[in-house]
């Protein structure tokens, strides 16, 4: 658990009472802290409940704060890296790590910003250049954490992407074709496809989350399940995929050109790409307050055309409700040209 390999001793395990003692700063001392350090201190205090088990990342966060107070920012960075690899969903400590990296002049070349979700947090809060996509490792962690009870939650929150993609895809399905469901999750799109079509074609499910794939396997609707990043899967696929499906996938991609180009390489003329996309009023790409990407329809059309596709249909719908607001979306069916 020691983030250092030299002879200088790290603080003892900062758990339980020790962690809380570390956080017992006076009001004057707290007022003098940089904003991100205040956030991190408050985050650690809230995460440690009285008499509750303290997770390893709590200890690492406590050690990071200790090192910051001691002026040892590089040690603090190492502790935060280890903590966020164990539990990525710690906004206060993501913010603190970003601040430390920028102060140390390490931010621009830092290799861990995408796997730890730091580029997403920074883009949301500073309006910095948008990342090209969510890192696949981070996507896997996000959906592993959502897998238990996922279907019930989706129903409760009225997510409609799966239904709309399945509805539009029906017209592309015929006997003997190969269909790949990218970001298949628990298999919601597969459940919504017409059973007669589903039995007469080869259906492949692709996802980064082992927990989601486990749920999809239990449903027994796919002929093959592949644990892979979408880019890796499309690069490795050697057979033609007659229909590519992507429901609620594009909100995790900023740059659609690379995705559509890879899709085009796995399809021959007459094949179809059916996907949902959150709609932006802008002409290009934006990151909305939830951290998802939304895309302008003219941008989507340009990317499709550059990858050799023509839009056959574009059906608007309300994808879901977020913060009591309906999210505008479309389902697009595009055909691969010669």
Write out pLDDT tens, residues 116-174. Answer: 999 999 999 887 789 999 999 999 999 999 999 998 988 888 889 999 999 999 999 98
Task: Supply the pLDDT for residue 92.
Answer: 87
Q: What is the 3-state secondary structure (H, E, C) of the chain?
A: CCCCCCCCCCCCCCCCHHHHHHCCCCHHHHHCCCHHHHHHHHHHHHHCCCCCCCCHHHHHHHHHHHHHHCCCHHHHHHHHHHHHHHCCCCHHHHHHHHHHHHHCCCCCCCCCCCCCCHHHHHHHHHCCCCCCECCHHHHHHHHHHHCCCHHHHHHHCCCCHHHHHHHHHHHHCCCCCEEEEECCCCCHHHHHCCHHHHHCCEEEEEECCHHHHHHHHHHCCCCEEEECCHHHHHHHCCCCCCEEEECCCHHHECCHHHHHHHHHHCCCCCCEEEEEEEECCCCCEEECCCCCEEECHHHHHHHHHHCCEEEEEEEEEEEEEECCEEEEEEEEEEEECC
The reported pTM is 0.83
* Residue 52 in this model has a pLDDT that exceeds 50: yes
Task: Supply the pLDDT for residue 281.
Answer: 92
174 Cα distance to chain centroid = 32
Residue 336: CA count within 13 A, CB half-sphere: 22
Average pLDDT score, the chain: 85
Q: What's the rounded Cα separation, in Å, for the pair 113 and 58?
A: 21
* Residue 5 in this model has a pLDDT that exceeds 60: no
Task: Supply the pLDDT for residue 196.
Answer: 63
* Residue 15 in this model has a pLDDT that exceeds 50: no
* Residue 33 in this model has a pLDDT that exceeds 80: no
* Residue 7 in this model has a pLDDT that exceeds 50: no
Task: Supply the pLDDT for residue 266.
Answer: 93
Average pLDDT over residues 212-236: 95
Average pLDDT over residues 33-55: 60
Task: Supply the pLDDT for residue 109.
Answer: 93
CB atoms within 10 A of CB 32: 11
Residue 284: CA count within 13 A, CB half-sphere: 7
* Per-residue burial over 101-136, b = 16 or more CB atoms within 10 Å of its CB, e = otherwise: beeeeebeebebbbbbbbbbbbbbeeeeebbbbbbb
Q: What's the rounded Cα separation, in Å, for the pair 43 and 292?
A: 24
31 against 214, higher pLDDT: 214
* Residue 21 in this model has a pLDDT that exceeds 50: no
pLDDT digits (tens, 9 = 90+) for 244-303: 999 999 999 999 999 999 999 999 999 999 999 999 999 999 999 889 999 999 999 999
pLDDT digits (tens, 9 = 90+) for 81-127: 999 999 988 888 899 999 999 999 999 999 999 999 999 999 998 87
CB atoms within 10 A of CB 285: 18
4 against 221, higher pLDDT: 221
């Amino acid at each position: 658990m020691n983030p250092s390999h030299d002879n200088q001793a790290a603080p003892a395990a900062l758990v339980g009472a020790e962690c809380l003692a570390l956080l017992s700063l006076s009001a004057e001392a707290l007022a003098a802290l940089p904003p991100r350090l205040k956030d991190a201190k408050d985050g650690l205090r809230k995460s440690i409940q009285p008499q509750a088990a303290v997770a390893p990342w709590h200890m690492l966060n406590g050690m990071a704060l200790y090192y910051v107070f001691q002026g040892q920012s590089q040690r603090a960075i190492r502790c935060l890296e280890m903590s966020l690899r164990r539990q990525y969903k710690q906004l206060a400590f993501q913010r603190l790590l970003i601040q430390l990296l920028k102060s140390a002049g390490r931010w621009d070349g830092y290799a861990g910003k995408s796997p730890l979700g730091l580029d997403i947090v920074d883009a949301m809060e500073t309006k910095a250049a948008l990342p090209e996509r969510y890192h696949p490792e981070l996507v896997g962690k996000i959906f592993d954490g959502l897998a238990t009870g996922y279907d019930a939650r989706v129903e409760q929150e009225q997510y409609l992407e799966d239904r709309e993609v399945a509805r539009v895809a029906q017209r592309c399905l015929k006997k003997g074709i190969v269909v790949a469901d990218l970001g298949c999750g628990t298999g919601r799109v597969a459940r919504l496809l017409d059973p007669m079509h589903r039995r007469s074609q080869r259906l492949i499910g692709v996802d980064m989350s082992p927990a989601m794939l486990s749920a999809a396997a239990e449903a027994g609707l796919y002929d093959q399940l592949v644990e892979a990043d979408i880019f890796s899967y499309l690069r490795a696929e050697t057979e033609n995929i007659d229909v590519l499906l992507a429901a609620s996938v594009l909100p995790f991609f900023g740059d659609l050109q690379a995705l559509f180009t890879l899709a085009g390489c796995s399809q021959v003329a007459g094949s179809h790409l059916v996907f949902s996309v959150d709609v932006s009023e802008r002409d290009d790409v934006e990151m909305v307050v939830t951290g998802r990407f939304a895309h302008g329809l003219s941008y989507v059309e340009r990317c499709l055309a550059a990858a050799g596709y023509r839009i056959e249909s574009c059906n608007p719908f309300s994808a879901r409700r977020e913060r009591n607001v309906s999210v505008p979306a479309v389902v697009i069916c595009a055909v691969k040209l010669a």
